[in-house]
A and B are shown apart, each in its own frame.
Chain A
């Protein structure tokens, strides 16, 4: 259209009051949606903690601010996606296949995949678990989560890059989706089974599958889906809108393969799994140094181990003869957690994170579209507004998650073991006065006599173990930390486990309802299918799947079920169901599985995992994210088959005769 005409376009001016009321009603409708999604899980966590676990919520003010910020962030971010990022992806998807050769196309896909990985905010959460891993128990895992983290992320990035190349080529040549699943998953499961036989590799396999669940997050998914939808639309009548899906599945499977490969390569350089003393011994110093990175790091790990009581002073002295343990009285040398961070530095860190998550990807898309394809961006002002919304939204969302939901989830997670174990409450200490040594009595036990003290409680006197350290002979006072009975103690151990799994399942359902990438996927599918598949239905079914998956994952941790069984059975079920599903539904289901575990689910899973895992002696909650990500596939596939059989039956009936 010619420029003279463009200038002639008049804007209609609305009265200020009317504009403000329009903006308000629009903002209200968007925020209302997010309030519904987020308040469910927040309410659930608060009720769980206060009424079931009977622990007050600490930092209530900062958590409330965090939750509000999450809601605002989600609303802005999703609006930014729908306004700016997804239309841009779709436009690019439509124009891309027209220009350039296959090589240029592959390079574009690979670069996009790599930058998408560095953008995903949830990947950082995995490293949170790094602190719970002990170097001598799983040296390879320790390496990958600490010093080797950049390698891990590199491997993930390469996996996602290849997935995007393959996925976009699939659109280009209309390869069907189902064979890809059948080709990819069984070998990965076989590899996982093989890894399960090696003590060093087994936990890394769990990490690899977790990584798979995390890679496809709120930035990558909408972009990749909109690209796919654009490419499918270009192909025309043969496409049915949902054909643009499937890349997300590949992007969550390929990183599993690359991480498994990376760990197989690194295996020869790391120490074998063993006792702390053998880990730090001179003989295996080379491997231990590889795991820790430097002599100083190794010494600080050893020092921490000594202080935690895993390593005796003699072994420490034997391992580090020049530096006596006695001379080292410094505390644990781990970096301090973010708790003491100054508020402005939190803002700064999260702002950088949000910018890094969105801008590089958008830059790649824009450069490709404007410079390489020489196209005009449709609705440029909406795109800019969308990007601003997305960045600000991502900032509010990440900040809110850190201050609000994650912190609330961490509190609940920490307290979850109280459901089945009697425990002490750190915040209540009672000083008993006038305690004479004569009041302590002994009881016979197989390891020698145990000393007890009678303490008066609300329901009469109770004998509690006497600890000499808590007795102050001069003051004649005894510091008593009351034990609380397990919350579900009267249900028996099996009953209380069941109760915990139910709690975790409901939690899983709640967090998934707030997951932004799943909702973006649902909205896209609803739009592409003219409302035949409702977004809300997809989200609910996927949420149920995540709930079941989380429960199964934690059950596996508590009962120490090998990973291959936890993942193998649902994957086998999903593959079987895929066989009977339509191409269309299979891609919806597998993509839903890939997107469910994102920045809302992962931190909460990890928080609960750290709580439950610590009590059951596991190294964090590896494998739970993976389980939470495969069950939705099963659930969605199953629901699809049910709908299909019902529709098929009624069609058959109607047409007969």
Chain B
């Protein structure tokens, strides 16, 4: 799929994107031998998350283009969502890309957009299985899992820090807004947020264009798989409203209210590999609690193969901070050459609906 994805992006001259390696998890059924010993295991297929920015009014057109080209409306292919971000850096999109966007905007586009929530759960490596299983068994969504390294209190400990495991697992769940509260409760329950140091969850509002519903791999016994039936019904009904888990329809309103009141922002940083640590330390001095670093890579200019002075390796981290710290953090970073040639930094600020963590701790310092 990734080759196809890159071709598709190249088709609209999108040459500036970030790639994050991970896996999409689903439940695999094993039939066992002669009907004995059948089981269901979690099975991960390697997947990549592509991130890029574009002006909001082109979002629907590009989403439709991508979903069509990549056949994302088929179950098991992938998901596609859009999110509002505030750019705090001055990186401009290429002219070619803007031109191809303008060319696309003229077409008529069916409205398939739905309001979803992105739940990002950060837990210790290896502790996510219960969460994954619970989400999959409910058929809520297909989680996307990546690995990261935590920084936070750990880095203030000197060499004693090596005794604290850094490895984190980051689970991304895309769920319909009306089921988000249910999913969040389920997640906080399964990763035992009632205990200290288990992890934390934050919720963000996104616009979903294509969802991956393929929660199960196994023997197929009908003319169409359940996922295909569901996506056909979604199509007929025009939304996935009909398959809600939670009763009542005012959930949407509640989350909208909360969105306005949210006290948190997510500041997403990207730098060339190896330099993010210093900046994360700076943000922590400026008041951020901690972060989870991820190794990602960026697209390379056409024709380049990583030979020469250009490296595609990047590091990224999402800082969840109090809204009032945002300006201070962004300016601190800018002062220290974050956007410079050497660092190639990017800052994106996003709204956060809610942050869930162990209640015994102060909210200002979400655990890394």
Query: What interface size band does chain A fall in?
Result: 35 or more
* B188 interface hit (Cβ, 8 Å): no
Contact A530-B22, Cβ < 8 Å, known A236-B300, A385-B159: yes
- Closest Cβ–Cβ distance, residue B114 to chain A (whole Å): 23
Cβ 8 A contact of B307, one of A2, A91, A172, A382: A172
Q: Which residues of B contact A653 (CB under 8 A)?
A: 219-220, 225
Partner of A241 from the list B21, B76, B308 (CB cut-off 8 Å) is: B21
B273 to chain A: which residues have CB within 8 Å?
A: 94, 233
Docked pose: A238 CA to B312 CA in angstroms: 10
**Given A97-B306, A654-B225; A236-B160 close (CB under 8 Å):** no
Is residue A12 contacting chain B, with contact meaning CB distance below 8 A?
yes
Chain A minimum-CB-distance residue to B29: A650
Please tell me which one of the listed residues B6, B164, B281, B299 contacts residue A9 in the complex, with CB atoms under 8 A apart: B281
CB pair B311–A98 under 8 Å, yes or no, is yes
Q: Which of A11, A174, A241 contacts B158 (CB 8 A)?
A: A11
A14: contacting residue among B19, B157, B307, CB under 8 A: B157
With a cutoff of 8 Å between Cβ atoms, the chain B residues found around residue A528 in the complex are: 21
Chain A nearest CB from B365 CB (Å) reads 12
Among B164, B219, B311, which residue has the most Cβ atoms of chain A within 10 A? B311
Q: Which of A412-471 contact B (CB under 8 A)?
A: none
The answer to whether A382 touches B162 (Cβ under 8 A) is yes
CA distance A233 to B295 in the complex (A): 9
* B54 nearest CB across to chain A (Å): 18
Task: Give the distance in Å from the alpha carbon of A1 to the alpha carbon of B218 in the complex.
Answer: 53
Question: Which residues of A101-115 have CB atoms within 8 Å of chain B's CB atoms?
Answer: none
Is B147 on the interface with A (CB-CB < 8 A)?
yes
| Contacts A235-B312, A655-B74; A532 near B23 (Cβ below 8 A) | yes
B156 in contact with A236 (CB, 8 Å) = no
Residue pair B282, A1 in contact (C-beta under 8 Å)? yes
Q: Are B285 and A8 in contact (CB under 8 A)?
A: yes
A61 CB-CB contact with B under 8 Å? no
Q: Are A235 and B145 in contact (CB under 8 A)?
A: no
Given contacts A236-B306, A530-B44, contact A23 B160 (CB under 8 A): yes
Q: Are A234 and B159 in contact (CB under 8 A)?
A: no
Q: Is B83 an interface residue (CB 8 A)?
A: no
Q: For residue B42, which residue of chain A has the nearest CB?
A: A531
For the complex with contacts A91-B274, A231-B306, 8 further pairs of A-B residues with Cβ separation under 8 Å are A5-B282, A10-B156, A83-B162, A230-B313, A236-B300, A528-B21, A653-B225, A654-B217
What is the interface of chain B, defined by CB distance below 8 A to chain A?
2, 6, 19, 21-23, 28, 44-46, 48, 74-76, 145-147, 153, 156-160, 162-164, 214, 217-220, 223-225, 227-228, 273-274, 277-278, 281-282, 285, 295, 297-300, 305-313, 336
- Interface on A for B, CB 8 Å cutoff? 1-2, 5, 8-12, 14, 19, 22-23, 25-26, 79, 83, 91, 94-95, 97-99, 172-174, 230-231, 233-241, 378-379, 381-382, 385, 527-532, 647, 650-651, 653-655, 657
Nearest first, the 5 A-B pairs at minimum CB distance are A236-B312, A235-B306, A26-B163, A12-B156, A236-B297
What are 18 contact pairs spanning A and B, CB under 8 A?
A: A8-B285, A11-B157, A22-B160, A83-B162, A97-B307, A231-B306, A233-B295, A234-B312, A234-B313, A235-B300, A236-B297, A236-B306, A236-B312, A237-B48, A385-B162, A647-B45, A647-B217, A654-B217
